[in-house]
Amino acid sequence: MLERLTRRIGEGLVAAALVLPVWALPALAQPAVAPIFETDARQAILIDSTNDAVLYTKEPDAPFAPASLAKLMTLAVTFDEIKRGFLTPTAPFTVSQNAWRTGGAPARTTTMFARVGSEVTVKDLIRGTAIVVANDGAIALAEGIAGSEEKFAERMNAMAKEMGLTSSVFVNSTGLPAPGARTSVRDLARIAQWVITRNPDMYPVFSEPEIDFGGVRQLNRNPLMGQYEGTDGMLIGSIAGEGHIIVASAVRGGKRLIAVLGGLADEKVRLRATSALLDWGFTGYIDRDLFAKGDMVATAQVFGGTQGSVKLVAQEKVTLPVPKDGNSRISARVVYRGPITAPVSRGDRIGVLRIWRDNLLQREVPLIADENIEEGSLFQRAFDAGYEIIAGALHPYAVKLFPWLFTGG
């Protein structure tokens, strides 16, 4: 399978020699079809976390207030502090007047009933935040780690940047209404995947069925716990006038799916819609191996080297979930930034393999060089430089004459 060749000076390039397995070729020839799933959610996304693939989206980048889902980032920052050795689960944090009044019993909101002035371990504050979405627990964590919620929000936004979030701004640790706070279902899914994959030793706290703290026993607030087979966490929230939100994770047959839905009418609709989306993901797809780790995927042109191209291989195994009914169009492209100039070292990250199902970007896989290419002679470098100048000058005319060569799909 040869993809169309697009070359552009100083921009993302598409390599031509993309090799796909035989099973993918019939799918490539089929016409695109509309999504076969509909949801009551205003925004939704479903991710196959095991294969790092997007299965479904509906307004995935539409911004909305994070509500209690901001606590997912609060816990991500807390887990990171522990992982880096800056914090221990047994460290005591004092419950301040602010934490108590804003998020505790007087606030009449989701709380773990931590007493003002008491010392609570980081572990218990994590449990309260993860199991019953406790506002006092989240504030106590923020103040204990950063000194204030404002300073902690800076840490949250720094981590958001590190995660590559594009629609999120965090203003406090709880998600209580605040001007400027926003997120999206795509960003929440990314946070969830980050928490799960990078903190396997701490993630199980989300699946604890209850918490007994301060003489008050409370059940896990995740409505899927005990109701949907395979559920092992995450969080819920609601926004006045905008509806209910949920981040849910479930595992069946070794496959983990992460579903995020927003704008749901009520708690019953939230449970029904989330269950339906997860069911669709678990029953409607089958995994097919596209490339093994180290398999050659494509070649990329190299300038000024002892040879004119470099082999690109998959940095990891590439498994693609495809619809069981085969009623989808799969396409793939190799994208890299060029021109690539010698020398090139084996293992250098050159580009990514982008895989679409219908019009949905399903997965991106890093591609690395599989060989060393030394710098060429002065004559080779001069020849390649002249060729690049001519190609750049002719590019605008080529786009006008042969536009189909420079479009995706």
Residues 246 and 297 in one domain: no
CATH number at residue 198: 3.40.710.10
Residue 112 scores a pLDDT above 60: yes
Q: Both 23 and 73 in a single domain? A: no
d(CA 44, CA 241): 18
Q: Which residues span the domain enclosing 239?
A: 55-264
* 258 and 354 part of one domain: no
DSSP 105-130: GGGTSS---PPTT-EEEHHHHHHHHH
Q: Are 71 and 25 part of one and the same domain?
A: no
Is residue 50, in this structure, part of any structural domain at all? no
Q: What six digits make up the tokens of 360?
A: 């949905």
Q: Indicate whether 134 pLDDT > 70.
A: yes
- Establish if 178 belongs to a structural domain: yes
Same domain, 304 and 350: yes
Mean pLDDT score, 109-131:
98
* Least reliable range by pLDDT among 10-14, 57-61, 197-201, 335-339: 10-14
Better-scored residue on pLDDT, 353 or 393: 353
Show the DSSP H helices in 113-174 as ranges: 122-132, 135-146, 149-163
**Is there a domain that residue 280 lies in?**
no
Look at residue 392 in the predicted model and tell me its pLDDT.
54
- Are 198 and 298 members of one domain? no
Instruction: Name the packing angle between helices 70-83 and 185-198 (round to 10°).
Output: 30
Asked if 247 and 335 sit in the same domain, the reply is no
CATH of the domain at 317: 2.60.410.10
User: pLDDT per residue over 21-32, tens digit each?
Assistant: 544 434 434 433
| Residues 355, 320 contacting (CB under 8 angstroms) | yes
- pLDDT confidence of 398, banded at 50, 70, 90? low
Are both 59 and 25 inside the same structural domain?
Answer: no
For the segment 101-112, the average pLDDT, to the nearest whole number, is 95
Instruction: Please indicate, yes or no, whether residues 393 and 338 belong to a single structural domain of this protein.
Output: yes
- 1 belongs to a structural domain: no
Q: Region 68-73: what's the mean pLDDT?
A: 99
Q: Please check whether residues 141 and 187 belong to one and the same domain.
A: yes
Biggest CA-to-CA distance, the chain = 81
* pLDDT for 164 beyond 60: yes
Co-location of 304 and 389 in the same domain: yes
Identify the DSSP state of 206. G
Give the gyration radius of the chain's Cα atoms.
25
More confident site: 39 or 7: 39
Has residue 45 been placed in a domain? Answer: no
- My answer on whether 252 and 401 are in the same domain is no
Query: Is 275 contained in some domain?
Result: no
Instruction: Say what the pLDDT of residue 9 is.
Output: 28
Distances (CA, A) of 330 to 241, 295, 322, 323, 340: 39, 19, 9, 10, 28
